[in-house]
A = this chain, B = another copy of it.
Amino acid sequence: MQNEIAIELAGDGKQPVFLEIATSIIREIERGRLKPGDALPGTRALASSLKVHRNTVDAAFHELTMQGWLVAKPSRGTFVASDLPDVRSANRRTRSRSGEGRLRTGKAAPPLLHVSDGSPDPREMPRAALARAFRRALSTPAFLANGSYGDPRGAISLRTALADYLVQDRGLPVSPDEVLVTRGSQMGLFLAATAILEPGQTIAVEEPGYPLAWAAFRAARARVVGVPVDAQGIDVSKLAALAEREPTLKAIYVTPHHQYPTTVTLGAGRRLKLLDLARRYRLTIIEDDYDHEYRFEGRPILPLAARTDADGSTIYIGSLSKLLAPAVRVGYAVASPEILTRMVDRREAIDRQGDLPLEQALANLIEEGELRRHARKARRIYAARRDFLANEIHRGLGDDVVFNMPAGGLAIWLRLSAGLNAETWSSNAARAGLSIAPGLRFALDAANATQAFRIGYANLDESDLKRVIAILIRTRPRR
Contacts and interface: CB of A to CB of B under 8 A. Distances in A.
Nearest to A350: B190
Interface in A451-479: 456, 458-460
A163 interface: yes
Interface in A348-407: 348-358, 363-364, 367-368
Interface in A77-108: 94, 97-100, 102-106
B141 A176 contact: no
A102 B15 CA distance: 39
A420 interface: no
B19 A157 contact: yes
A18 interface: yes
Contacts of A219: 194, 346, 349-350
Contacts of A141: 94, 102-106
Given A104-B145, A175-B55, A325-B143, A18 B135 contact: no
Interface in A108-143: 110, 114, 116-117, 119-123, 127, 130-131, 134-135, 138-143
A218 B16 CA distance: 39
17 contacts: A13-B368, A15-B140, A16-B363, A16-B367, A18-B156, A18-B160, A19-B157, A58-B176, A63-B156, A119-B149, A122-B144, A131-B134, A146-B326, A149-B326, A212-B349, A328-B355, A355-B358
Contacts of A135: 131, 134-135
A294 to B, nearest CB: 15
A106 B143 CA distance: 11
Which one of A97, A103, A142 has the highest number of Cβ atoms from chain B below 10 Å of its Cβ?
A: A142
What 4 pairs across the A-B complex have the smallest Cβ distances? A147-B459, A99-B148, A327-B356, A104-B142
Given A59-B160, A167-B55, A355-B358, A216 B350 contact: yes
Nearest to A179: B55
Given A13-B368, A63-B156, A157-B19, A143 B327 contact: yes
A223 interface: no
A187 interface: yes
A348 B215 contact: yes
Contacts of A326: 146-150
Which one of A159, A168, A175, A357 has the highest number of Cβ atoms from chain B below 10 Å of its Cβ?
A: A357
Given A18-B157, A102-B145, A117-B148, 18 more contacts: A17-B367, A19-B157, A62-B156, A62-B177, A100-B148, A104-B141, A119-B148, A119-B149, A120-B147, A123-B144, A127-B139, A146-B327, A212-B349, A215-B349, A218-B349, A219-B346, A219-B349, A329-B355
A183 B94 CA distance: 32
A149 to B, nearest CB: 5
A207 interface: no
Contacts of A184: 351-352
B122 A147 contact: yes
Interface residues of A, number: 101
A58 B179 CA distance: 13
A155 to B, nearest CB: 9
A56 interface: yes
A138 B130 contact: yes
A186 interface: yes
A431 interface: no
A161 interface: yes
A353 B367 contact: no
Nearest to A216: B349
A199 interface: yes
Interface string A170-201: 00001111000001101100100010000100
Given A102-B141, A351-B351, A97 B147 contact: yes
A52 B346 CA distance: 33
Contacts of A159: 59
Interface in A52-69: 53, 55-56, 58-59, 62-63
Given A175-B55, A327-B355, A349-B218, A161 B16 contact: yes
Given A148-B119, A367-B16, A55 B355 contact: no
A164 interface: yes
Contacts of A56: 160, 164
Interface string A30-68: 000000000000000000000001011011001100000
Nearest to A366: B16
A146 B99 contact: yes
Nearest to A352: B186
